[in-house]
Amino acid sequence: MAALRPTPTARIVDSEFEGSAAVIKVQRLALECYADEPRSPVRAAALVCAARALRDQAHAALHTGPWRDASLAWREAYMFGALHLAQGGRPAADRDAALQLVRTLDLGLMLGASAYRSELLALIGSLEATELRECGGDGSSATVAVDDGPWLPAPLELGAPGAICPSGHPLRVMARPSLERFLLHCMAPAQPALLTGVLDGWPALGARSWRNLGYLKRVAGHRTVPVELGEDYLHPDWSEDLMTFGAFVDRHLAHATPPSALAEEAAPEPVGRVVVASATADAAGVAPPAAATDGAHERARKRKRAPVGYLAQHALLEQVPALAADICVPDYCALSIEPDADDGADGDGGDATRSESTRNGRAAARSPARVNVWLGPGGTVSPLHHDPEHNLLAQVAGAKYVRLYAPGESARLYAHPTGVHKVSSQIRDVHNVDSARFPLFAGARYIDGWLRAGEALYIPPRWWHHVESLQPSCSVSFWWT
């Protein structure tokens, strides 16, 4: 593959940009280096040195404050440095060195912007087709038939959709709704729904099953990914580590707790219900939140292995396009609601205060859906929180328990008052709640149920949701506006 010759964006050569001198130096050395045939080792070494210095300078700048405030110019500079660091170091690359170059490029994809994404992906593809062609996805010999597994456990037997939550208010089930029906009955009134049949035909559920960890390792085992370590992102001991996808599978999935260790204790009884004030609940014969299943969930938690590793909310399909061919973005993600200018944003998730145009719904062109992968062992938890976008959570493998609260219940859910977690509840465990500290929570009404492989859950904007894996599982989320 001929050397890529990307032009620096105007943003990173602007004299006002602190890193412009380093960018211009890398560009000059790259032009000199790539013009040589054969390439001069001296010029290649000079390019590698300058590119590494630029990348390190950008890395330091990107980690001086919250990531949401990261400079786009520094992100582009990081990618520019990573690209030339990998290209300059490639000619002498053996297999181990090639794996390190792929890691360099993966970090460029994760920390960078969109400016050089295609160039980084092209260089990774070239390395995979040459230096890494004889390797398995984890960088080892490819002589083993990695497609033979190991496999994630088969989905739990949880009954027919909707039938496992006979009391209270279980999730509404819709079988393959048309676009119009989905728009009018889900998006416009902002009502959640469990969708069946909408993932039919996905290779990830069939011929290229994502339950097959051997297949995933072959395709992506050598790629570097961010893995969350700990109970959940609100826990004080939570951390994040970078490791290859293959190492993540081996450490946290291939030898994960058998599903029975969680399923037998965490899911023996239906829990679908609306929880009301305790006096009313007693009169109606409805179990309060801390009864019935809490002991089982607590025992299941104690049986989890620590630390739990979770590949959570990661754009894996952008990083590894080969896996993107295994799924299909549902057509529902092309729909949007176009409210009137005076339509308020403080509705309770579907009441009559919404404008007529919003209730009827209008399709509008929007940017493509953001697609993220969630892969981890049983027991992983996404604590109670809400998002500003439409969310379609597609379950590819395993099963999850989901609980949802309408925006109108927010006053009873005790959101963090300020900071990055203000969209999250202070209640980390909905099954074990300190009633003295959070007295209103017992009166919060919710709907809940199971999400199984082949099903998708629609979560409207600002609906609170708590999600926990009952067994090793994989989900793909689609967020759109």
Q: What is the DSSP annotation of 29-53?
A: HHHHHHH-SSPPHHHHHHHHHHHHH
Cα-based torsion angle of the residue sequence 422, 427, 428, 433 in order, rounded to the nearest 10 degrees: 180
What pLDDT digit, counting tens, does each position of 457-475 carry?
A: 999 999 999 999 999 999 9
What band does 305 get if pLDDT is binned at 50, 70 and 90? low
Please give the average per-residue pLDDT across 156-163, as a whole number: 69
What band does 158 get if pLDDT is binned at 50, 70 and 90? confident
Question: Which of 30-39, 86-95, 145-154, 165-174 has the highest mean predicted lDDT (pLDDT)?
Answer: 30-39
Distance in angstroms (rounded) separating the CA atoms of residues 124 and 113 = 17
Q: Vertex 470, ends 464 and 471: CA angle to 5°?
A: 135
pLDDT at residue 276, as a whole number: 26
Distance in angstroms (rounded) separating the CA atoms of residues 325 and 410 = 39
pLDDT at residue 382, as a whole number: 94
* 266 within domain boundaries: yes
* 2 within domain boundaries: no
Paired tokens of 397 = 């493998």
Q: Tell me: pLDDT of 283 over 60.
A: no
Q: In terms of DSSP H, where are the helices of 66-206?
A: 72-89, 95-111, 117-129, 179-182
Residue written as tokens 């990618």?
A: 79
Nearest residue to 222 via CA among 143, 153, 141 = 141
Distance in angstroms (rounded) separating the CA atoms of residues 454 and 205 = 7
Q: Tell me: pLDDT of 286 over 80.
A: no
* 242 within domain boundaries: yes
Residue written as tokens 């149920």?
A: 449
Containing domain of residue 336, as a range? Answer: 173-480
What pLDDT digit, counting tens, does each position of 235-280 carry?
A: 777 789 999 999 999 999 987 544 444 444 444 333 332 222 223 3
State the amino acid at position 84 in one-letter form: H
Bridge partners (DSSP) of residue 477 are 372, 393
Q: Point out the domain boundary residue: 96, 129, 162.
A: 129
Q: Point out the domain boundary residue: 129, 162, 192.
A: 129
pLDDT at residue 306, as a whole number: 56
pLDDT at residue 165, as a whole number: 54
pLDDT at residue 157, as a whole number: 81
What pLDDT digit, counting tens, does each position of 168-185 carry?
A: 678 999 999 999 999 999
Please report, for residues 387, 421, 448, the alpha-carbon distance to residue 384 in angstroms, rounded to integers and kept in the order given.
11, 11, 13
What pLDDT digit, counting tens, does each position of 381-400 carry?
A: 999 999 999 999 999 999 99
What percent of the chain clears pLDDT 70, i.e. is strictly above it?
77
Residues 60 and 178 in one domain: no
Is the separation of the CB atoms in 311 and 110 below 8 Å? Answer: no
Paired tokens of 439 = 């007295």
Residues 183 and 280 in one domain: yes
CATH number at residue 199: 2.60.120.650
Residues 99 and 198 in one domain: no
Write down the mean pLDDT value for the chain.
Answer: 83
Give this prediction's pTM: 0.83
Residues 125 and 177 in one domain: no
What is the count of structural domains for the chain? 2
Residues 277 and 368 in one domain: yes
Please give the average per-residue pLDDT across 407-415, as a whole number: 98
pLDDT at residue 100, as a whole number: 95
More confident residue, 329 or 234: 329
Q: Tell me: pLDDT of 10 over 70.
A: yes
* 5 within domain boundaries: no
Question: Which of 103-112, 237-246, 290-299 has the highest mean predicted lDDT (pLDDT)?
Answer: 103-112
Q: Tell me: pLDDT of 218 over 50.
A: yes
Q: Tell me: pLDDT of 154 over 70.
A: yes
pLDDT at residue 421, as a whole number: 85
Residues 324 and 394 in one domain: yes
Q: Tell me: pLDDT of 186 over 90.
A: yes
What band does 1 get if pLDDT is binned at 50, 70 and 90? low
Q: Tell me: pLDDT of 292 over 80.
A: no
Residues 372 and 438 in one domain: yes
Q: Tell me: pLDDT of 299 over 50.
A: no
Residues 177 and 266 in one domain: yes
Residues 77 and 188 in one domain: no
Q: Tell me: pLDDT of 144 over 90.
A: no
* 138 within domain boundaries: no
Residues 335 and 459 in one domain: yes
Residues 123 and 220 in one domain: no
Residues 334 and 443 in one domain: yes
Please give the average per-residue pLDDT across 9-14, as a whole number: 96
